[in-house]
Amino acid sequence: MTGLLDGVVVPLVTPMSAPGVPSTDAGEPLLRAMAETGVRRLMLLGSNGEGPLIPASVAAEFAREATARWHALVPAGTVLVNVTAPGTDEAGRRASDAAAAGADALVLSPPTYFRHRDDEVVAHYAAMARYGLPVVAYNTPARATPISPACVDALVGLSHVVGVKDSSGDMDVLRYMIEAARRRPDFAVSQGDEQRLAEALRAGADGITPGTANLAPLLALELAAATDDATLDRLQSLTTQLTRLHGVRPGVPSVKALLSAEGLCPPHTAPPLAPCTDEEIRELTRVVAPLGRYLLRRDS
């Protein structure tokens, strides 16, 4: 399947009906608003989706329900499911669950916790071929072994690996990936670093996967579609402004607090993550207020 990483992939937060309890029903307003805004591609259970904090059996059920709901809302839409795990066996279990859930593709970082040699990383990706879905490699050096240039070259040679999402923040790494991708027409590159979205698109990235798209998907869609430097710079500046919310409270709790204020998604997170305080919510609201027209609303 081609086009999996084109334009915008929203790395969706995981709606929860209670702390640690994923619920597609609780996220119905969010999914509907995303669809109405023009979003076509979702990534489930990544870092924004608290995937590492959700047990595999629970994640499988959520992936099944959320995938079915998204395909009903957006018949031509796609769902990528992150199956990253510390080892190949556990990643394989999650990959099998994602395939059974109807996912369109898998997202997979190198194994977490331990640092691994290049040959081990490549073997990890090669093992995913048996699950019959396209695989997007996920380069997130802060959480897993970095995908080296040698690994990039090897991954381009694996037919079931169809692209890479890079969250390294290193433009030299991203440019190497873009250059390597030219050897395969169906291999794509997506930028995950919210500070360098415009720079990546100028360099030839196929798309972007910013966590900020949970709050402002229209901003991400306009940025990905921009064709002139002035527009790219303006929209990147707004995106950078939006990321200041993480100076109030880093990560998923701040995003969910703002979505909850709009009635789009409950504020619940998976333990040990704790919800934002009232004081943090007031400050978050102040920080994002200038982005008003881009912020996702329940009636978007």
Active-site residue set: 138, 165
CA dist 122 and 229 (Å) reads 37
- Tokens matching residue 223: 């940025």
Residues 6+ apart with CB under 8 A from 94: 56, 59, 60, 81, 83, 84, 85
DSSP state of 20: T
Are 270 and 52 contacting, i.e. CB atoms less than 8 angstroms apart? no
List C-alpha distances in Å: 198 to 167, 189, 225, 278: 14, 14, 10, 34
Burial of 234 (0-12, 13-18, 19+ CB in 10 A): middle
